Structure 1
Amino acid sequence: MNIIIVGCGRIGSTLVEELSGENHDISIIDEKAHVVQKLAETHDVLGVIGNGASYSILSDAGVETADIIIAVTNSDELNLLCCLIAKKAGRCETVARVRNPVYYDEISFIKEEMGISVVLNPELSAAYEIARLLRFPSAMEVNKFSKGRIEMLKYRIPHNSKLDGMTLIDVSNQLNCEILISAVERKKELIIPNGSFQLREKDIISFVGRPNCAMEFFRKIGERKNQVHEAMIIGGSKIGFYLSKLLVSSGIGVKLIDKDRDQCERLNESIPDAMIIHGNGNDHDMLLEEGLTDVDAFIALTNHDEENMFLSLYAQSQSDAKLVTKVQKLNYDAMIERLDLGSMIYPEYLTAQYIIQYVRARQNSIGSNIENLYKLMDGRAEALEFHIQKGSPVIGRPIKDLLLIDNLLICSIYRKGKPMIPNGQDHMEEDDLVVVVTTKKGLHDVKDILKRG
């Protein structure tokens, strides 16, 4: 596909890194010459220096033959204008990042009237992600497949867990839950396990299942953090605003703390059912006075990564609450995992992943059959969702008879609105959505899961 990316900040750079390895022809546009030059040289893409809302600049980037233009600059208005011009000039699909809450209730109008294919809001996406995590407080991460009917959850096995010492066959027979453990990280080693694999304390497992089955699994292994009733949010940013509205609408009590009095007054008017508190989240005495030890979830959403990390560390020392920490810099990932601070949220990275999923879905209509792809365990494994198309060599054959490549596991099959965890007797049919987990990189078609020969 021919793709133009306007704006080479965190989102744009992530898109270039991910998509340049997938056989696309990519052009990038940014006004910062050194940024364009570095990305163009590193990833072998066409770099154009200039304003992405200029027709001549878009033309230099190949807008007339582009399949998709993705506008992710820091300006909402510039992104919308880029897409509008590109739509008129090249009739391509258009994706725009729009962050301002002023447009929150106008997204449908903007898409319809301007003909924009996708409008994405990093802060709103992050709020939805956090809200989904709070449905499973014991999970470190939750990813969706099969139109939301199948989820993949990441979980660290704690001390004295019922899972410690159990084989995967034991998990199936004794717990009787429709989940499948698909990957295990143990002391930096990544394992695609078989039925005889024995779980241990401190293992980080990824498992798939329907949402209700995941809840049942957590309940049966004795995880008591199964529901959030009260949440404390530090930081009245855009994410804090969106998240508070989501949580309040689902019946969860919210205490939001921000040190900007004017912002507190605006939030109080916008979210009357939330408790808005003017104060400094770094004041530990105030956090205790406001009930830190009693809340079920603690979410650090200030504009400073280090502050969020220290806030979560303090909350961890005072409470058993589910921790969610907003981080902008991806290089903090390994540090936070070592500190065991629960779930990390990267707003820009999340938005980049949503855009990548959209690009893959569009590519699916012209040949590829990857619907979704998630990186697991720091990118050492991938969870891919394939759309099974007519004539595929995997159709109709029992899974046990398929000659699958090494280190690959078929995790779920979604057929005619019904998800299932397959066994060796099950088979795939045309139009199924099938999720696999593998350490093998570069799979583009479901036939790639089969050994050659």
Structure 2
Amino acid sequence: MYAVIVGAGEVGFHIATILSQEGHEVAVIDRRRESTERASQELDVLAVLGNGASRRVLEQVSMGRADLLVAVTDSDEVNMIACMAAKQVGVPQTIARVRNPDYIEDKRTLSTGFMGVDHVIQPEAAVADEVVKLAGIPGALDVETFAHGQVLVVEVQAAPSSPSLHTPLRGLKLPPGVLVAAVLKVGGEVVIPRGESALEPGDRVFLSGVPGGVVAAAATLTGQKETPKRAILLGCGEIGMAVARSLEEKRVKLTVFEKDAQRAAEAAAALRRSLVLADEGIDENVLAAEGVADSDLFIAATGDDRLNILTSLLARQMGARRTIAIVERTEFSRVVESVGVDVAISPRRMTASAILRFVRSGRVLSAAVLDKAAGELLEFEVGPTSPICDRSLADVDFPSGAIIGALVSGSEVHIPSGRSLVKEGDLAVVFTLPRSVREVERLFSPRTAR
């Protein structure tokens, strides 16, 4: 596949990294010389200095053979124009990142009149959804849903006092319909565990299966069972407001800080059960007065990475039980959780996850890139000509770096075994390490006629 990426910022660079490492041909276009130089020096890509919304530039770069254009600049308008221009030069599939809700009719469709954009990615909406999902599962570090909500994948870290530590996985009393799909070790290695594998202190565990069972297993491992009743939110931008509305629906008692007086007034008018304060929310005395020590959850979503990190650390130090920070920049997101913030959510990763769904071979219904380069979660629909169709898993040469975390047949969710038969129309939720992605794609892709 030949992919053209317009915009070499954090998101564009991350997508280019994933695709180039998998052996795809990638071209990156950006108007900033420092961005193209970085891409050229660090990645195996064609880096072009220029206007990615220019038909002339796109014609030169695509050379009549590009399969995909992804536009992820900081400008919605540039992204949409780039997609329109790409269509004019023959690019068959286009994806645009669009942040302004005024352009959107629903979560995936642009308003009438913007021809040429096949798919829309809204990272802010995805981040807000992720915050709410994390808030609903105590101790969760990452939450992904698949198969129309029938399958849940949750990442947790076992509590130091958990009886599950040092116990072989086959001896764990997990709820029915739950599997330990993968383990991220302290040193950064990701392993597909076997029955004799045991969890060690500091391991991060990926649980897969039926939602009720996964939530119960997560509670057992982390020792956390209470969902938040009181929360503090810093920032009333698009992400903050979406989070606030969702938390209100869940009857969470919410205090919101917003330094911009006009935006704070608008939030106060829109939120019915929350206390909105026109304040930065960084003063210890103010935070103490508003009960940060008694809060179950502190969320920093100001749009400023440094402020989000520092206020989350301060809130944790003052007694907040759990902290979530929105962190865009790569150099920050890699270390923020190691210094005391419970969860760092990356809009960059959320955008990459949404785009990968359209890049992967086979009938991919959804995809998720896991943090810390742990791997990917892919949901496939089994087609009639897929090599895996109508075969038991014991007879399939499944890659060692991947595992089917759940198999869904209609309304039934199964944790597969070697005897499981994969049938047409089944939904398979697959955890795969980066090295095994291509092999997994091959198993679920239609056979090509000879």
TM-score (norm 1): 0.86
1:75 equivalent in structure 2: 75
Against the structure 1 CA distance between its residues 34 and 221, is the aligned structure 2 distance closer, same or farther, given a 3 Å change threshold?
A: closer
Conserved 8 A contact 2:328-2:348: yes
Letter in 2 for 1:69: L
2:383 equivalent in structure 1: 389
Partner secondary structure for residue 444 of structure 1: helix
The count of aligned residue pairs is 442
Conserved 8 A contact 1:48-1:60: no
**In structure 2, distance between residues paired with 1:406 and 1:91:** 36
2:447 equivalent in structure 1: none
Q: Is 1:424 aligned with 2:425?
A: no
**In structure 1, distance between residues paired with 2:96 and 2:340:** 35
Q: Is 1:155 aligned with 2:167?
A: no
Against the structure 1 CA distance between its residues 420 and 58, is the aligned structure 2 distance closer, same or farther, given a 3 Å change threshold?
A: same
Deviation at 1:232? 1.0
| Deviation per residue, 1:101-132 (Å, 9 max, x gap) | 44466767735432322222222221111111
**In structure 2, distance between residues paired with 1:440 and 1:327:** 23
Q: Is 1:413 aligned with 2:391?
A: no
Against the structure 1 CA distance between its residues 213 and 46, is the aligned structure 2 distance closer, same or farther, given a 3 Å change threshold?
A: same
**In structure 1, distance between residues paired with 2:109 and 2:206:** 39
Deviation at 1:139? 0.7
1:232 equivalent in structure 2: 232
**In structure 1, distance between residues paired with 2:298 and 2:111:** 35
Letter in 1 for 2:20: S
Conserved 8 A contact 1:443-1:449: no
Conserved 8 A contact 2:391-2:423: no
**In structure 2, distance between residues paired with 1:293 and 1:263:** 26
Conserved 8 A contact 2:402-2:436: no
Partner secondary structure for residue 154 of structure 2: strand
Partner secondary structure for residue 163 of structure 2: coil
Greater Cα offset, 107-116 or 46-55:
107-116
2:138 equivalent in structure 1: 137
Unmatched tracts of structure 1, length 5 or more: none
Q: Is 1:66 aligned with 2:66?
A: yes
1:184 equivalent in structure 2: 183
**In structure 2, distance between residues paired with 1:110 and 1:375:** 25
2:7 equivalent in structure 1: 7
Q: Within 5 Å, which residues of 2 pair with 1:271-420?
A: 271-319=271-319, 321-360=321-360, 363-364=361-362, 374-376=368-370, 378-420=372-414
Conserved 8 A contact 2:30-2:36: yes
Letter in 2 for 1:36: T
2:438 equivalent in structure 1: 444
Greater Cα offset, 233-242 or 392-401:
392-401
Partner secondary structure for residue 35 of structure 2: helix
CA RMSD in angstroms, aligned pairs only = 3.0
Greater Cα offset, 66-75 or 10-19:
66-75
Deviation at 1:65? 4.1
1:259 equivalent in structure 2: 259
Letter in 1 for 2:417: N
Unmatched tracts of structure 2, length 5 or more: 445-450
Greater Cα offset, 132-141 or 53-62:
53-62
Partner secondary structure for residue 422 of structure 2: coil
1:122 equivalent in structure 2: 123
TM-score (norm 2): 0.87
Letter in 1 for 2:184: E
Deviation at 1:370? 5.5
Partner secondary structure for residue 144 of structure 1: strand
Conserved 8 A contact 1:192-1:407: yes
Greater Cα offset, 290-299 or 310-319:
310-319
Q: Within 5 Å, which residues of 2 pair with 1:47-126?
A: 47-62=47-62, 64-90=64-90, 92-103=92-103, 110-115=110-115, 116-126=117-127
